[in-house]
Amino acid sequence: MPNRNSLFTLFILMVSFFAMAQEVEMSVLASTELRNRVVEKSRNTSSIISDFEQYKHLDFLSNDIISTGKLTYKSPSSIRWEYKEPFVYSAIFKNNKLYINDDGVKSKVNLDGNKTFKSLNNLIIKSVRGDMFDKEKFDISSYENSETYIVHFKSLDKALKKLISEFVLTFDKESLNVIQVKMIESSNDFTLLKFLNQQTNQSVADEVFTN
């Protein structure tokens, strides 16, 4: 039977862990300072290269659909999503066009003809950079714990809200890199992206964004 000292130690450890993980809402001043720092970092970020894990949650499935791949972003608006597992697939957004390579089968979509999808693409690019602080488009609330900032962006645009009702961005406190993006649909299904092994401001050839 555990003695009192061991139980007390366990209790302290549990409380400490809870305190570290607990999210606390940030003040208006702290939120504004965070926004300014993130926007400044975004302006000085010319490229991002990162591995990613994607979790697609659908209510009717018992387990999330998990895929992995590599993200490459080059300022101002070129981005490549390269899926490697469990299937081979790439999607390139460049010059308002979407280029798809589905295991060798290639196609192209002009985003200029779809205002909502074009807007969503721009927001996804901004979410990767972290630069989504637009009060005209989102109801924004900011939280923090010991290691991260968590910012909720609830869409105010009716058309966009039908696709993505909320973005949740998680920033590493030390680097201010976006380490996680959660996109919540109106149905409450969601896509969760976790970014790993990030490199910023590396040289990226234009050929990377060729389908």
Domain ranges of the chain: 24-209
- What was the pLDDT predicted at 4? 53
The neighbouring-strand residues paired with 71 are 50, 81
- What was the pLDDT predicted at 1? 52
- What was the pLDDT predicted at 193? 95
Q: What's the fold here for domain 24-209?
A: outer membrane lipoprotein receptor (LolB), chain A (2.50.20)
Q: Please provide the size of the chain in residues.
A: 211
**Is the separation of the CB atoms in 93 and 121 below 8 Å?**
yes
- What was the pLDDT predicted at 15? 41
- Mean pLDDT, contiguous 10-residue spans, the chain (211 residues): 50 43 89 95 94 94 93 93 93 90 90 76 86 90 96 90 92 95 92 95 93 79
Tokens found for residue 90: 């790439």
- What was the pLDDT predicted at 60? 87
- What was the pLDDT predicted at 161? 87
As a whole number of angstroms, the distance between CA 45 and CA 99 comes to 24
Tokens found for residue 128: 């990767």
- What was the pLDDT predicted at 5? 53
- What was the pLDDT predicted at 47? 95
User: Phi and psi at residue 135, in whole multiples of 5°?
Assistant: -70, -15
As a whole number of angstroms, the distance between CA 169 and CA 156 comes to 17
